[in-house]
Chain A
Amino acid sequence: MPDLIFDVQNVSFAYEEGGPLAVRSLSLQVPKGAFYAVLGQNGSGKSTLAKLMNGLYLPTEGSVSVCGMDTKDEKHTWDIRCRAGMVFQNPDNQLVATIVREDVAFGLENIGVPTEEMPGRIEQALRDVGMTEYAERAPHLLSGGQKQRVAIAGVLAMRPEAILFDESTAMLDPQGRREVLSAVKRLNRELGLTVIWITHFMEEAVDCDKVFVMHSGEIALSGTPREVFAREEALRALRLDVPPMAHLAQTLREAGMPVQDVLTVEDMVREAKRLCR
């Protein structure tokens, strides 16, 4: 299967030998260009899964391959990390340089990109996240959303196939969240970047291709956002939520109003127009 970016086969993982499993017998295939969301309460194994998917952790059992390369094979380690980048939660822990441009260059220097090739890659990456005009600024003076976009640019400059986002919007304000998510959606749509989007915000998952809900190290629910968010009770049992409009729709259905397929405000507008005229 040449077009699989990630192939997670029956993976279990324990932090200590013989310790409890943080991920258990989990399988997941991610095709090129997909935008998948991973939901789950704290401690459900989301971040562990993400770290298994770019070889930061190696499976205790089973196998993970990235673009056809087994993460256990040491000679591929660097290659895998370049193909599958990662953006973390706290923007302040990810930026290292005193100027945005140099921060984006950091990864490139580490992987030995020739000096003459760097400016072009950096310009391109900053353009892709809409941060060109900030190239000469100091990162610590940027907003949270801007810092995260610089962190994304740093990964993009390495020309990855995929980026794993581990709650990258958790510490941002609503505007920062919108900024980052819309930049990532554009990268997925226009550059075909494969995206794994781990989040606690149910609304951030409504537009993605598939949603995976983790619980106790396993995938407890999966499907399209419409399929998954239709299962309000199951989600609540997993200590999760549904997007506000899906919840409103459920209340209306219980009162007899036959609204269908509602995840967003626009869905509810469509249903109200259909049913209330």
Chain B
Amino acid sequence: MQITLENVTHTYQPGSPFQATAIRNVNMTVNPGEFLALIGHTGSGKSTLAQHLNGLLKPTEGRVLLDGQDIHEKGCDKKEVRRKVGLVFQYPEHQLFEETVAKDVAFGPKNLGLSAGETDARVREALEKVGLNYDDMAERSPFELSGGQMRRVAIAGVLAMRPECLVLDEPAAGLDPQSREEMLQLISGLHEAGSTVVMISHSMDDVARFATRAVVMEKGEAVMAGAPEEIFRHADRLVAMGLDVPKVCQLGLRLREEGLPFPEGVFREEDAAAALLSLWKEGKGHV
């Protein structure tokens, strides 16, 4: 499944004194099976963009195409679009509302009109996908769980719709280090199992580790797109936009400033370790 944005502009509250254009003339494609990272400063339009991917927001100008079909055209089944493209908001645990975990996860499939048996099967499957045990969790109140568990339940609610593409807005924000890592591994596992993933993130280290491609937003425009190695080759541009770059890129920039021949385009820890070890071994060779 492919999502294409054609010249998408979105203006909030047009014609009012609060009129604000959040994204401008964005052209981008989400390819089937990729792990796409959306990065950019707060206010750069990432979340607005994400909400166009499943038709929650309608472009003020331009079109959003799902496998070639304009999702805002008459005759396009919006419900089906929202089922195919699952959107997980920031702090999705704030949206839990049911008495039990099972009921909360069942909310979406039930609204699809599925039978009780099918709904229950979906709930089991979705909870398993987020690493929660159905028998332990089903009858508990979502509000007595830990923050990390609550977030998993919220994501299970989206997975229960069996989306083909999962769009996550800062899924690891506010979690402790271990829960963060578990959340990222969970998303990476979903990607490996065939889901298309779009993830908004402020952590360039996470982007470097997991994304197959990244789009950089600045002031409402998509200003860079490419594989992480291409994006992080322009570390200086990212820094100028007020963004972080992976710690390893910062190290590379500084080492080259100091005159050490540390290669460009290194942004993963294991590659940095290899590069430093080879520099060290060469250095020893000269002594």
Contacts and interface: CB of A to CB of B under 8 A. Distances in A.
Interface of A: 40-43, 89, 143-144, 170-171, 173-176, 200, 202, 239-241, 244-245, 247-248, 251-252, 255, 257, 265-266, 268-269, 272-273, 275-277
Given A170-B174, A251-B273, A276 B280 contact: yes
Contacts of B148: 42
Interface string B92-114: 00000000000000000000000
Contacts, number: 99
Interface in B240-287: 242-244, 247-248, 250-251, 254-255, 258, 260, 262, 269-270, 272-273, 276-277, 279-280, 282-283
A174 B244 contact: yes
Which of A170, A173, A266, A273 lies at the interface centre, i.e. has the most chain B CB atoms within 10 A of its CB?
A173
Given A174-B202, A269-B255, A257 B276 contact: yes
Contacts of A241: 177-178, 181
B260 A173 contact: no
Contact of B283 (A40, A89, A275): A275
Interface residues of B, number: 40
A252 B254 contact: no
Nearest to B181: A241
A176 B42 contact: yes
Given A42-B146, A200-B176, A200-B177, A265 B254 contact: yes
A247 B177 CA distance: 14
B258 A240 contact: no
B41 interface: yes
Contacts of B181: 241
Given A257-B276, A272-B280, A276-B279, 17 more contacts: A41-B178, A89-B174, A200-B177, A200-B180, A239-B176, A239-B177, A240-B177, A241-B181, A248-B276, A251-B273, A252-B273, A255-B277, A257-B277, A269-B251, A272-B260, A275-B280, A276-B280
Contacts of A245: 247, 251
B55 interface: no
A40 B179 CA distance: 12
Contacts of A244: 205, 247-248, 269
Nearest to A254: B273
Contacts of A266: 254
Interface string B147-184: 11000000000000000000000000111111111000
Contact of A272 (B242, B270, B279): B279
26 contacts: A41-B176, A41-B177, A42-B175, A43-B146, A144-B42, A173-B41, A174-B202, A175-B42, A175-B242, A239-B177, A240-B176, A241-B177, A244-B269, A245-B251, A248-B276, A251-B270, A255-B277, A265-B247, A265-B254, A266-B254, A269-B258, A272-B258, A272-B260, A272-B276, A273-B260, A276-B283
B175 A200 contact: yes
Question: Which 9 pairs show the lowest CB-CB distances between chains A and B?
Answer: A239-B178, A241-B177, A244-B247, A276-B279, A41-B176, A174-B244, A276-B283, A173-B42, A251-B273
A171 B173 contact: yes
Given A42-B147, A173-B42, A251-B269, A265 B251 contact: yes
Nearest to B249: A265
